[in-house]
Amino acid sequence: MPKEKKTLWDAYALSVSYTGLTTLIGHPAERLKVAIQTNLSQSAYSVTKQFATANLRHFSTGFFSCVLRQQSKVAYRPLLMTHIPNEIDRLQFPMMIGSILKATVASTLDTLVLSPIENIKTIQMRAIASQDKPIKPLQAMQTVYYQRGLPGFFAGSAATLGKAFPSWVYLFMTYNAIKTKREKQTFLSTILWATAASVPVTVTTTPLDVIKSQQQAFKSESNQTIGAVASQIYKNHGFGAFFKGFNCRLLHKSLSTAGAYMILDVASNISFNK
């Protein structure tokens, strides 16, 4: 029996609903991750313990920014994972080349669109529960603008692009590699596949995520390169600091990868009106 044809609107509907769910589930992990990565002088356990004994408002800090960031993705990501990959596939490149082209488009657009929101979110979330009172998005925007001007909203863009590109390449490649097996299994299996697939890319990109968080939280000079920030982190906090927040990232990455697989499933059976 032939599969029912899908449309781009099906991809958007899935993206909106799944993104809303994962934002609710993943926000505490994102909140902890940013606090851990921007307070490297404290252990991850110490930061987590402070949140565990704090009131709910500290955990909810940055929630609106996260919602805005995630829903901003809804505006363009279904297109990135449906129409654009289909057009690239028509060129019949080898899987590796095709994945690289798709990832180049996706990671570049991701970085341009999301960097301002990422910077606002990081300024909000850099405070741990024992420090400053939670600040609102508008206050975070003012902080970024007053200290660094408009370029401040794109702080950490190079690190963001550096971690986004391999993530997108890996997403497209793992999707193609496990698609046949996964189609015969359940949604829970999709989550398990996504988690397994997310481990290598999360390990390799977490150092850049730490660097990005340091740059966006004003823990480094605005004109410092990735190498300079990395050297500073290593000198002050050691090699292990580059992997702080890994567990939180893995949870978030697993959920987002599972959603991406499902959107790509829709894309593989989509019908575009010519």
Spatial distance between the Cα atoms of 77 and 107, rounded to a whole number of angstroms = 11
Q: What is the pLDDT of residue 172?
A: 77
H-helix or E-strand containing 48? helix 44-52
What is the tens place of the pLDDT at every residue in 35-92? 999 999 999 999 888 887 776 677 788 888 888 887 777 777 767 777 777 788 888 8
Helices (H), 81-186: 83-89, 95-125, 137-148, 157-183
Q: Collapsing DSSP states into helix, strand and coil, what is residue 102?
A: helix
User: How far does CA 147 lie from the centroid of its chain?
Assistant: 25
Q: Architecture of 6-270 per CATH?
A: Alpha/alpha barrel (1.50)
HSE (side-chain half, CA atoms, 13 Å) at 105: 17
Spatial distance between the Cα atoms of 126 and 121, rounded to a whole number of angstroms = 9
Please tell me the least confidently modeled range out of 17-31, 74-88, 98-112.
74-88
What is the tens place of the pLDDT at every residue in 147-185? 999 999 999 999 999 998 988 887 777 776 666 666 656
Spatial distance between the Cα atoms of 88 and 256, rounded to a whole number of angstroms = 23
Spatial distance between the Cα atoms of 173 and 255, rounded to a whole number of angstroms = 17
pTM of structure: 0.82
Q: What is the pLDDT of residue 183?
A: 60
Q: Where are the domains of the chain?
A: 6-270
Higher pLDDT, 234 or 17: 234
